[in-house]
């Protein structure tokens, strides 16, 4: 195939659409992370997010976070209509910086936990959860 100007234009537009859509979907989640971290570097070690690999019912997906030394943990569902899930702030009487709860997921997606440590550093963990039936009604 010869690369005519028209071909290049069509391919470029296709690539833009293919790349652009998923980026837009998670833009709100990225904003939420940068708002929480203030743009600081985020380490990949230091926080554990335990979640099932496959969740049959997106209405109640059990998750567990464990972030030793954290003062706050933000949980985001990257593929939900609104990415925010919860923020845990641990007080002086918290025995461990861990907690578990149940969340709603609209579909198969990544769930991200970002922890703010007492020394001001940040750590992040993510887990991909496959959802059979989405949990956002409709």
Partner 1 sequence: MAENVRPRVKAPRQASAGETVTIKTLISHPMESGQRKDSDGNTIPRSIIHRFTCEFNGEMVVDVTMEPAISTNPYFEFEAVVPEAGDFKFTWYDDDGDVYEDTQSVAMA
Asked if 126 is part of the footprint of partner 1 (rule: CB under 8 A), the reply reads no
Residue 93: its H or E element: none
Asked if 40 is part of the footprint of partner 1 (rule: CB under 8 A), the reply reads no
Q: Left (φ > 0), alpha (ψ -120 to 50) or beta: where does 137 sit? A: left
Asked if 77 is part of the footprint of partner 1 (rule: CB under 8 A), the reply reads yes
Give the count of residues interacting with partner 1 (CB under 8 A).
32
Residue 53: which residues within 8 A CB-CB, separation 6 or more? 128, 129, 130
- Angle, CA of 69, 32 and 101, to the nearest 5°: 55
In the complex with partner 1, the residue whose CB is nearer, 42 or 76, is 76
In the complex with partner 1, the residue whose CB is nearer, 20 or 84, is 84
- Residue ranges binding partner 1 (CB under 8 A): 59-61, 77, 80-82, 84-96, 98-105, 135-138
């Amino acid at each position: 195939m010869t690369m005519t100007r028209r071909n290049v234009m069509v391919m470029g537009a296709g690539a833009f659409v293919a790349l652009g859509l998923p980026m837009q979907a998670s833009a709100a989640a990225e904003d939420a992370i940068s708002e929480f971290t203030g743009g600081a570097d985020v380490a990949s070690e230091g926080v554990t997010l335990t979640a099932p690999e496959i969740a049959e019912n997106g209405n109640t997906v059990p998750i567990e976070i464990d972030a030793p030394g954290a003062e706050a943990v933000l949980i985001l569902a990257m593929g939900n209509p609104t990415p925010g899930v919860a923020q845990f702030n641990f007080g002086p009487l918290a025995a461990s910086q861990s907690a578990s709860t149940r969340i709603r997921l609209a579909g198969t997606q990544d769930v991200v936990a970002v922890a703010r440590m007492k020394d001001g550093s940040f750590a992040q963990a993510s887990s991909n959860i496959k959802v059979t039936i989405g949990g956002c009604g409709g």
